Chains A and B, each alone.
Chain A
Amino acid sequence: MNKINSFDELKSIQNRSNTLLELRKINEEKELASEGNRCTRYLSVCGGTGCMSAQSDEILLNLRKEIVAAGLTDEVTAAITGCFGFCEKGPIVKVSPDNVFYVNVKPTDATEIVKEHLLKGNVVDRLLFEEPSVKVKIKKQEDMPFYKKQVRIALRNCGLINPENIKEYIAEDGYLALGTVITEMSQDDIIKLMIDSGLRGRGGGGFPTGKKWAFAKMYDADQKYIICNADEGDPGAFMDRSILEGDPHSVLEAMAIAGYSIGASIGCIYIRAEYPLAVSRLRTAIGQARECGLLGKNILGTDFSFDIEIKYGAGAFVCGEETALIQSIEGSRGEPTNKPPFPAQSGLWNKPTCVNNVETLANIPAIINKGAAWFSSIGTATSKGTKVFALAGKINNVGLVEVPMGTTLREIIYDIGGGIKNGREFKSVQTGGPSGGCITAEFLDTPIDYESLGAIGSMMGSGGMIVMDEDNCMVDIAKFYLEFIVEESCGKCSPCRIGNKRLLEMLEKISNGNGTKEDLDKLISLAETIKDTALCGLGQTSSNPVLSTMKYFKSEYEAHVYDKTCPAGVCKHLLRYNITDKCIGCTKCARQCPVKCISGKVKTLHVIDQDKCIKCGACQVACPVNAIIKK
């Protein structure tokens, strides 16, 4: 694409490209093609990491081959798009304008989609989503319960545009916000608009974005920096990565807007090296934006210049903390520094720096285009707009969901998420990642916002939401998070480095069946001490998983300590394998046992010597009649 020299030119390009997405935006059922009556179609194939891992790239190749073979190249286009969010049912292929949403598509299904659907007009029934509760096939995306309660702002373009084509982003009002800002608004105007909108940081902290910008603007310097924090380290969260993969331009545009607001000319995206697809989409997007003159010197013919570079992380959770992130960009160990000075005063290379999270940034162009009043009309009194959650764990509909603030956990887990997998009982939902806490069933009707989640011992966090059922042991979950924290602690301050290690040792002791009452008391007091004394945000919240599980699942800890049992049947050392009367005496288990602790004659009941048993479970797997039970 050629360089765009003015805002007017951008607007006229936007006007002309309106038709580009026309097919995909028609929301009514079109008459399907019958033979001899072919109509134009657009096939969107999910190109997010989840679907790509399940061969969606091959699906696209096969579709294109079949389209050529069927002689439909003039009428049908097939291309990738960003994450649809319904990862559980991926890979997803959407056919427009018929508005048919195919799920669990395999590369071999391409033939049938083209031959049956495109050529004959027969929807391929077996690839439609079936609503499990009513066993009805659903054709349209918007009719699925998964999508009904969602409002997409940060994810507005994911599943719609091709992220590798800047024209499609522009057709969806892309870069219009930047144009408006740099030609019509003063720095203070934009900062006021951001404050009025009520947007708060989506990385977890929830600091008002407008205020953050105002601080960074306040300090004078020859150079200032905008940093996009794309170091998504919460294990089990993939919101930021999906935005970068599905709509990279919205982040670039917002960074330029932020740059204009605080007076920065350089932007820097700090991204995990483990995100190759997001990196490649970003590179493509930056290249296209430079070519169009939307990044670089004198953007849209104005005096404003802004460019963006990518910096790679190298796998360190603590680098999501802004001062540690800055250390890492400077090429050092990512250890946090004391605040103040805050980055707004002295950040990257000791210059005023504003660090914003990916999802925060993705909201900004929409806020400027639609106004602060529109944005602040969504959400609760203190938390405006929407929040993207990566819903995962023991839930039917794993995926990426975006809901208005104030939606309840129950709505997310049961209406959108489709309830607990395999009909099991809900036990807990964990939000906020390793810094967050576990929430129990009694709080499921809590409307989600920054304050309400904090009040029940968890936190908003960056958006990881992991659902657990009765088969998950909460001591084991606390241990899991502590293992993570111990591995990721940077080691700079002793409460985090040593304290968490001691916490983990106590948890291991408890799950091994050697815990005492004293350990339970010590767990709490040490966890509280770490919370009060650690240096950075990671350290101060690192003991939350212990505190929240101790608060809500104390009886489970007590069962481990006093009764030496694990109620969920997870902690291996507390399990017992027993052979029931069902035993047919086939001797298979005795032959499989690695420590030879099973005795019994052929065709008689076998017995396990509990003192020797190492609880490996080999006997249970070997038993042909399910006579061995684990308790």
Chain B
Amino acid sequence: MNEPFHDRLEDQATKTMWQNQPTEGVRMSTAEVQLQANKFQTKIWRRNAREYVAASVVVLFFAWRMIGAGDALVRTGMALIIAGTFYVCWQLHVRGGSRSVPADAGLSSGIAFQRAQLVRQRDTLANVWRWYLGPLIPGLVLMVVAIGRANPGHSRFIWLFIGIYLGVVAAVFFAIGRLNKRGARQLQRQIDELDEISR
């Protein structure tokens, strides 16, 4: 590309101005960076631990209620909720594992890195029924149905209450599912854009 001499001078002047701007001279010794890297890992561990405390409260509550429940179906429902909570926690751990930049970030070009991040986020949102909502459904449904069966004396009101409860839960789950699907579609558009650029 033949540029006029004046334009080349302008370009060079802009680059020189950029490269010669004053900086603070922030540096880090190897001892300091090792210390900070360890602190960073501890911070991530603590953040994960906080997330697991919330799950532990759910598990402990249902475990405690399970021990006291007389009906075998109610106990099975609670056991399924506990199992579902464990599964969701494990999935959160696996899917949240790349919140820090991976150690091999230098092997990925800008496009490859961005694409991998977007694909990971898209899959997390697109599969929300499979890893987040779905695993909790069997336990929730079985438990409330079992509670209804265990109270035959108040059958009309209890089944009305159970119907409303399940309806609200279903509406909330579907709303979460739809929002996540929409988010996944937006991410897919960004992935398509990157693929277009890479061609």
Q: Do A and B come from one complex?
A: no
Interface residues of A (CB under 8 A from B): none
